[in-house]
Amino acid sequence: MEPRTRLERQARPESMLLNMGPSHPAMHGTIRIMLELDAEKILNAEVEVGYLHRGFEKTCENRSYFNLLIYTDRLNYVSPLINNLGYCMTMEKMLGVAAPERAQLIRVLMSELSRVSDHLTCLAAMAMESGAFTAFLYMMKAREYLWDVVEFTTGARMTTSYIRIGGVRSDLHPGWRGALSKAVGETRKVLKDVSGLLDKNAIFLGRTRGVGTISKEDALSYGWTGPCLRSTGIAYDVRKAHPYLVYDRLAFDVPVGEFGDNYDRYRVRMREMEQSLRILEQVAALLPEAPPLAAGPAIEPEEAIRRSRAERAREPIRLSPNLEGSEKERLAGLSCQFPPVAVPAKEDAYTTMEGLIGHFLFFMAGKGIRPPKGDVYFSVEGGNGELGFYIVSDGSDKPYRLHLRAPCLHIVSALEQLIKGRLIADVIPTFGSMNMIGGELDR
Amino acid sequence: MLELAIAFLVFGLLSGVMVLVNFVLGPRRPNPAREKPFECGSPPLQTGIGPVNIPFFLVALLFLLLDVEIVFFFPLALAFRGRGLGGFAALAGFVAVLAAGFAYAWKKGIFRWS
Amino acid sequence: MSGFDFLTTRLEAALGWGRKFSLFHYPFITACCGMEYMSTACAHFDIDRFGAGLTRFSPRQADLLLVVGTISHKLAPVLRTVYDQMLEPKWVIAFGACTVSGGIYQNYAVVQGIDRIVPVDVYIPGCPPRPEMVLDGLLKLQDKIQHQKQDWRWARKD
Amino acid sequence: MGPEGLIDAIRARLGEAVEGVTDSFGDPVLLIRPQDLRAVMSALREAPFDYAVLLDLTCVDFAAAEGRFELVYHLYSLSRNVRLRLKTSLPADRPSVETVVGLWKNAEWLEREAFDMFGVRFEGHPYLRRILTYEGFEGHPLRKSYPWRLEQPRFPPKDEA
């Protein structure tokens, strides 16, 4: 077959061509690197992506603003809540809406939990692919504790779609302080163990120190952001450069590496996890206890409907808390009430005519959330870098165009340059330290 | 002598059974795709094996050498059992000769690939 | 039941028992379900308790193809090649809603269910399925292996 | 120099290449003529403005409504910690523009994606080839004309295989 790719055209006849293909344990299943080899040395490499292209942007053009939240979870599926946050804050910027204070604190709490689990998964995979299987098991254990906190509150371990436009879906679950302090404690213990295992480990240092080095200029020229850019020494962090939510009130510093090689990327992520744990503790201190709910047992919806048919409900009723939008008295602190961009309170929807109409209007096709015409770009600090959403709206309830600025695409585009001239074994830690996430890269 | 014969008999029988079981119980369903080399699922870029590079060959040779040396340790250890320091000295001499060869190869840069 | 039948049924029961407790799985991981697979395979939920813990990254040594995550049309031939290169007897588990039916992605890019490409034995729904659902799916596969007609060299093809 | 000063300085520097300046939710947006896009980009990358990072490059399909494609570039200046959005409009029938691969290295993949999804040709691009879709894929999926669920499977459905 005639050579189609640039690599095959330029390949010398005597060199060996090899696929480090999509279905490879270290390629996270979605990247194919075509290598031109002379024994173990890589003469030329070509990276092919797109194996996890799921048509996210086309699908979003056919979904309403409220419904496409579930697609944002599955972009960077290692830190899903940060994608939710990015999308929702872009929408809030377009709608000119701001989340209330408590919702902002909960958002910071959730996105920092996601960031730590993102770095844990990335370093676990990088360590396992370089042979340190124990570090993988330790970090997965720590991630379970973090996911417990997320699961108790949002109901799902990973694909939560908990952060909504205008605020959050519901309040933190009652025992969240205990679960959070246990998770933070366990994660700190694991971080100490893993840094003990890997930091001065001759094999790990041999494979990562001085491997996959990138200069500051090249990193900027490739559009690198996030931990990979900070490993080269440039302290650009969206939380500090353009503070959003309550990050300007929190004390945390931005760890920076010196040479921009694999080891620095590993160290920057480890230190960044400690900073995130620090943030978690500060937010836990800032977050007041949720106001106690009104007295009286929580009644089921059909009971509320039956009562409201008899006569208009006078005293405030309380619905069972598993319904979205219930716990009406707490909604004021959780999502912006005016203009109504969140799901209307269930207590109204079941017992009053206006509430029922409001509920239908929110979910009806063509009604719902309809931002003004125009385009907007907003970005948050994702697990891999600057996660930006560019939304063009034409006034209808579906986005005309929704584009994600994927930090992974820029980081992986430098992979060819980083591995040229090195040995095959260097591809694995270099690619592992980039934390390529297929969902975000190929969208 | 007897337990040697029994040992050979048992080991021979065991391996024979394992090969036979594999031959009997393994289903045979030829599939053309299985002849192609496995390259992570993508179509291979090159058919056939290209020229083999010298560094591979040298490392393989060195490995063969040292592996055979390790196999010699077992009978030597049995033979010199109970001979005390003399036995240990003989064994050490054997190892020293090979270690010298290994050090020479290492210094000559057999492991430096670039 | 003649003497020979008694022997083969005992042999098939033994074969089923042997094969179901030593499943070497090939994790064909692409997307978000991979994160849930990591939790299932690691210490907390530990797939190894059921004899399926050893991951083999080459189809030659695996007898269970665990397809995890969205399979796009660009990846379909890769999945087909890996399935063809696996040795008999082999089974396939579809892990996650995207492999079962294309999940939430019904568009130009995603294969609407991998049973359009490879024959699937057990479907595990969920987006992503919880680790307990994955282990339940594995147990269902083990029951299927135990009670299916075992395939061996002189097995009658009735 | 403040945001207003910056925009005026850029307009002064670029002259008539800038067709207009609009504001979208507080962010300045420059409308650029497609033919001197490369000059504008290299000017913005240089000293006084030093937009060192090409944050993002996307394309929006207004073919149905206004018969044009719109390329949207996001630049970011590290020293002055400020973002800038540039837009150019390309004719819908034959959208093509000069590549910026020489200025920023990530432009190669970003432009390949814009080509793959919208069919915008980038003159001078070293390796303009599909990046997200596969070899035998006809058409450009993100165009409004491409139906949302039109699959082009590479396998005949298994039962007919």
Residues whose CB falls within 8 Å of the CB of residue B49, separated by 6 or more in sequence, listed in order: none
Q: Which of A5-9, A281-285, C112-116 has the lowest mean pLDDT?
A: A5-9
Task: Tell me the C-alpha distance between D26 and A392, whole Å.
Answer: 15
Q: Which of A14, A19, A23 sits opposite B50 (nearest CB)?
A: A14
Say which residues have a Cβ less than 8 Å from residue C44's Cβ, sequence separation at least 6.
Answer: A140, A141, A144, C131
Task: Determine how β-strand A163-164 pairs with β-strand A167-168.
Answer: antiparallel
Q: Is C54 in a helix, a strand, or coil?
A: coil
Contacts of C82 in chain B (CB under 8 A): 38, 41
Chains A and C touch (3+ CB pairs under 8 A): yes
- Apex A241 CA angle, A199 and A80, nearest 5: 65
Cβ–Cβ < 8 Å for A367, A357: no
Instruction: Answer whether A223 sits within 8 Å of D85, measured CB to CB.
Output: no
Domains and CATH numbers, chain C: 23-147 (3.40.50.12280)
Q: Which of residues 166-225 of A touch C (CB under 8 A)?
A: none
Phi first, then psi: give them for residue A72, nearest 5 degrees.
Answer: -70, -25
Structure tokens at A314: 């006078």
> What are the residue ranges spanned by the domains of chain A?
6-48, 56-289+371-442, 301-363
Chain C residues touching residue A124 (CB < 8 angstroms): 38
Find, among A20, A19, A21, A12, the residue nearest to A43 by Cα.
A12
Mean pLDDT of chain D: 88
Q: Which subunits sit against D, judged by 3+ Cβ pairs under 8 A?
A: A, C
Query: Comparing C-alpha atoms, which of C12, C3, C18, C1 is closest to residue C155?
Result: C12
Mean pLDDT of D113-119: 93
Asked if A53 lies within 8 A of C74 by C-beta distance, the reply is yes
* Predicted complex ipTM: 0.89
Mean pLDDT of A257-277: 94
Identify the chains in contact with C, defined as 3+ C-beta pairs within 8 A: A, B, D
pLDDT greater than 60 at residue C27 = yes
Do B and D have ≥3 inter-chain CB pairs under 8 A? Answer: no
Mean pLDDT for A85-111 is 94
Domains delineated in chain B: 2-107 (1.20.58)
The CA distances from residue A260 to A122, A134, A196, in Å, are 17, 26, 22
Contact predicate A175/A152, CB 8 Å: yes
Please name which of D53, D38, C38 lies closest in space to residue A241, comparing C-alpha atoms.
D53
Most confident of the following: A278-282, B32-36, B83-87: A278-282
Q: Output the six-digit token pair for A428.
A: 């694995």
CATH of domain A56-289+371-442: 1.10.645.10
Proportion of chain B above pLDDT 90, given as a percent: 25
A53 vs D132: CB contact, 8 Å cut-off? yes
Q: Among A207-211, A404-408, C55-59, D14-18, whose mean pLDDT is lowest? A: D14-18
Q: Write down the number of H helices and E strands in chain B.
A: 4, 0
Is residue D2 pLDDT above 80, yes or no?
no
Shortest CA gap C11–chain B (Å): 10
In chain D, what are the domain boundaries?
3-143
User: What average pLDDT does this structure show over A288-307?
Assistant: 79
Residue of A nearest to D147 (CA): A58
> What local confidence, expressed as pLDDT, does residue A236 receive?
93
Mean pLDDT of C114-128: 93
pTM of the model: 0.91
Q: What was the pLDDT predicted at D161?
A: 39
> pLDDT grade, residue C71 (50/70/90)?
very high
pLDDT in tens, D9-59: 888 888 888 888 888 888 889 999 998 899 999 999 988 888 999 999 999
Chain B CA closest to residue C14: B25
Residues of C in contact with B27 (CB under 8 A): 88-89, 151-153, 155
Mean pLDDT of chain A: 90
Contacts of A160 (CB under 8 A, 6+ apart): A73, A80, A81, A84, A110, A150, A154
Q: How far is CA B11 from the centre of its chain?
A: 19
How many helices (H) and strands (E) in chain A?
A: 20, 8
CATH fold for domain D3-143:
Beta Polymerase; domain 2 (3.30.460)
Q: Which of B18-27, C45-54, C120-129 shows the highest mean pLDDT?
A: C120-129
pLDDT in tens, A24-61: 888 887 899 999 988 888 999 999 999 999 999 999 99
